[in-house]
Structure 1
Amino acid sequence: MQRIYLFVALFFLMMSCACQQDPQRENNNARNKQTPVVVVVNYPLEFIVEFLVGPEIRVINPVSPDADPETWLPNDAMIQTIQESDLIITNGADFADWVKKLSLPRSKVLRTSLYLKDSLITVPDFEVHSHGAKGAHSHAGTVAFFWLDPALMIKQAEAVAQKLMVLFPQEKKTVTVNLKKLKGSLEVLKQKLDQLKTEYAGLQWFSQRPVYQYLARRADWSVHHLHWKRHLNPDDNDWKKLKKVQEEHQIPFMLWEQKPDEKLVKELQQRGVASIVFDPLTVKPVQGDYISEMKRQLNQLEQFLKQHSIARDTSKK
């Protein structure tokens, strides 16, 4: 009889433990579901949000590091994740094809370009197309790489911070403190560009496409984009166009988004054009972050200009 009572007692004890564990498991699941999710379209915005918020908010940059965030498209599972997120932060200026193609809930979208209206740069010949017998023609477009001017990235960060504090008031203190730190770091980068403006104002550059206009404006430079196709070597027509521009402007430098072929670098050198890589940081760098990489690249740019200004001075003598 005592054994029966013992088994009954054990049975009720086990049932009691199970009842206590299930709600706990449900609470954990509910907590995971309640974790706020913020989706971003590129690395600079990912950097801003991760800098501002604490670990209680999940930041998703759906684009893999080896993909191009301008042309990448999500699969069905990622589309659902994006649409169910609490906030979708876009760049604007038609950056990221998927933003234009997906049906996104407007109430969840923060378009940072709206906060930069007075600072946007529109290029009249942004992209050149050829449509059959009609020949080549160009389209105007807004340059999307705002973050290459740290002053504009500060405005983007302020817009993001304001939205985060409205959506997640519990994060207000964290976001406020971190925004101040971020603005301090970006101010250092801005001062570096202002220094380059003082020392090297009025420089002219080539680039393959409209990428560096905001950086150039901050430094009082101008950029002539060549419409060279990425990942393809220039053809005879491309070289003819460069020669024509060179005859008119005598442009000494070219900015590259990625390291060009050495043969191409030498060909440009023979035409009086020195090359330097300046990664626009649309994807996360292999080492460091936005701040450290911009610092490194601006220092590298300064050294490049020092070397080539000496070379140009020598050639004039």
Structure 2
Amino acid sequence: MRPLISKIVLLTLVFFSGCQPAANEAKQQETNQGPRLVVVVNYPLQFIVDSLSGPEFQILNPVPPDENPETWLPGDATIQTIQQADLIVTNGADFADWVKKLSLPRSKVLRTSLALKDALITVPDFEVHSHGSGGAHSHAGTVAFFWLDPRLMARQAEAIAERLIQLDPESEKTIRANLEKLNASLKPLNQQLDQIQAEYPGLNWYSRRPVYQYLAKRCDWTMHHLHWKSISKPNQEDWKQLQSLQEQQKLSLMLCESEPDEEVITRLKDQGISVFALNPLTVAPANGDYVSNMQQQLTHLQMFLNQQKKSPPSEK
């Protein structure tokens, strides 16, 4: 009987000694894996992922701070890094040229616009241009600046949170708690926009291109985009087009992505138009974050609209 017991003990030791290296190897591989790499295409998505995730994730926004994330294209080394990422969070609606031009593994790409299908705004004449002597024509397109309505940003965040949880199920509790915190941080912005909508509904604005449609819809406004290539240096055709539009519509407000030159501001004033610069925050601000910068901008917007109400351009 004792020899049989000895054999059983020996076999048991051999079995466990054989399993131990395999277990150690699996644990070592998990340790070597490190944080999951998440690539984002613009600052608003970076802000969301940063807000949701912990040290289990490494966030990479490959766009240099002095480049336009809509038109920037990566070099070969950056392309390799992007393609090796665990998750690539894109905006959708054709935001970021490099997303359209690179061959990205579909299983790793999260297109956040898919979570907003019912809210997407398509502009019939999104882009107007001409080819040779064929004359000018237009193409329809979907406006991509969803985050200018914080309610839509919250929906983007929900979609990202679910994908991060799939990537690292052990982080689910932390990610869901962070999602609640993010939604709470967006609440003051929604309150500001509710107040703006209640006090200044029905406004009509010019803009250089389709950027502010989601913000406008939230505030019950209408946007009229001009298709200007530049707000700092409009050409003569741009000014003629604006003058013609003003004769028909007589709008008094314009939203710009950055503050125009003083000369441009003066010429716009001559046509009865006051300008407000609202940065869409596609790149990281020099100070603060998305929430603090949007709060500040919306506060300034309220002050601007209050001033226009007291002293409209026609009375200046």
| Shorter-chain TM-score above 0.5 | yes
Tell me how far apart the structure 2 counterparts of residues 37 and 138 of structure 1 sit (CA, whole Å).
Answer: 39
Q: What SS does the aligned partner of 1:134 have?
A: coil
Shift of 1:32: 5.3
- Counterpart of 1:37 in structure 2 is 37
- Counterpart of 1:126 in structure 2 is 126
Between 1:238-247 and 1:44-53, the stretch displaced more is 238-247
Instruction: Please list the CA deviations of residues 177-214 of structure 1 after superposition, one character each: whole Å capped at 9, or x if unmatched.
Output: 11001111212211211110100000011110000000
Tell me how far apart the structure 2 counterparts of residues 313 and 44 of structure 1 sit (CA, whole Å).
Answer: 34
Correspondences of 1:178-193 after superposition (within 5 Å): 178-193=178-193
Asked whether the equivalents of residues 151 and 187 of structure 1 are also in contact (C-alpha less than 8 Å), the reply is no
Q: What SS does the aligned partner of 1:54 have?
A: coil
Tell me how far apart the structure 1 counterparts of residues 91 and 283 of structure 2 sit (CA, whole Å).
Answer: 14
- Counterpart of 1:198 in structure 2 is 198
Q: What SS does the aligned partner of 1:93 have?
A: coil
- Counterpart of 1:62 in structure 2 is 62
- Counterpart of 2:287 in structure 1 is 287
Tell me how far apart the structure 2 counterparts of residues 36 and 177 of structure 1 sit (CA, whole Å).
Answer: 19
Q: Does 1:150 align with 2:150?
A: yes
Paired residue type of 1:182: L
Correspondences of 1:262-301 after superposition (within 5 Å): 262-301=262-301
Asked whether the equivalents of residues 265 and 275 of structure 1 are also in contact (C-alpha less than 8 Å), the reply is yes
Instruction: Please list the CA deviations of residues 259-309 of structure 1 after superposition, one character each: whole Å capped at 9, or x if unmatched.
Output: 211100011011100011100000000010000000000000000001111
Change (3 A) 1:242 1:28: farther
Tell me how far apart the structure 1 counterparts of residues 55 and 122 of structure 2 sit (CA, whole Å).
Answer: 38
Q: What SS does the aligned partner of 2:312 have?
A: helix
Correspondences of 1:110-259 after superposition (within 5 Å): 110-230=110-230, 233-259=233-259
Tell me how far apart the structure 2 counterparts of residues 209 and 279 of structure 1 sit (CA, whole Å).
Answer: 13
Tell me how far apart the structure 2 counterparts of residues 230 and 259 of structure 1 sit (CA, whole Å).
Answer: 12
- Counterpart of 1:92 in structure 2 is 92
Shift of 1:315: 3.2
Between 1:237-246 and 1:140-149, the stretch displaced more is 237-246
Between 1:88-97 and 1:187-196, the stretch displaced more is 187-196
Q: What SS does the aligned partner of 1:291 have?
A: helix
Paired residue type of 2:288: G
Paired residue type of 2:75: N
Asked whether the equivalents of residues 93 and 113 of structure 2 are also in contact (C-alpha less than 8 Å), the reply is yes
Report the count of equivalent residues. Answer: 290
Between 1:233-242 and 1:36-45, the stretch displaced more is 233-242
Tell me how far apart the structure 2 counterparts of residues 77 and 260 of structure 1 sit (CA, whole Å).
Answer: 36
Paired residue type of 1:117: K
Tell me how far apart the structure 2 counterparts of residues 58 and 29 of structure 1 sit (CA, whole Å).
Answer: 18
Paired residue type of 2:223: V
- Counterpart of 1:6 in structure 2 is none
In structure 1, the gaps of 5 or more residues are 1-26
Shift of 1:176: 0.6
Shift of 1:51: 0.3
Change (3 A) 1:313 1:158: same
Shift of 1:29: 9.6
Shift of 1:241: 1.3
Root-mean-square deviation (Å): 1.7
In structure 2, the gaps of 5 or more residues are 1-26
Tell me how far apart the structure 2 counterparts of residues 313 and 268 of structure 1 sit (CA, whole Å).
Answer: 10
- Counterpart of 1:14 in structure 2 is none
Shift of 1:312: 2.3
Paired residue type of 2:197: K
Asked whether the equivalents of residues 208 and 231 of structure 2 are also in contact (C-alpha less than 8 Å), the reply is no
4+ runs of 1 displaced by more than 4 Å? 27-30
Q: What SS does the aligned partner of 2:311 have?
A: helix
Paired residue type of 1:73: L
Asked whether the equivalents of residues 120 and 142 of structure 2 are also in contact (C-alpha less than 8 Å), the reply is yes
Instruction: Please list the CA deviations of residues 102-146 of structure 1 after superposition, one character each: whole Å capped at 9, or x if unmatched.
Output: 000000000000010010000001011111110111110000000
Shift of 1:55: 1.9
Asked whether the equivalents of residues 273 and 313 of structure 2 are also in contact (C-alpha less than 8 Å), the reply is no
Shift of 1:314: 9.2
Tell me how far apart the structure 2 counterparts of residues 232 and 289 of structure 1 sit (CA, whole Å).
Answer: 26
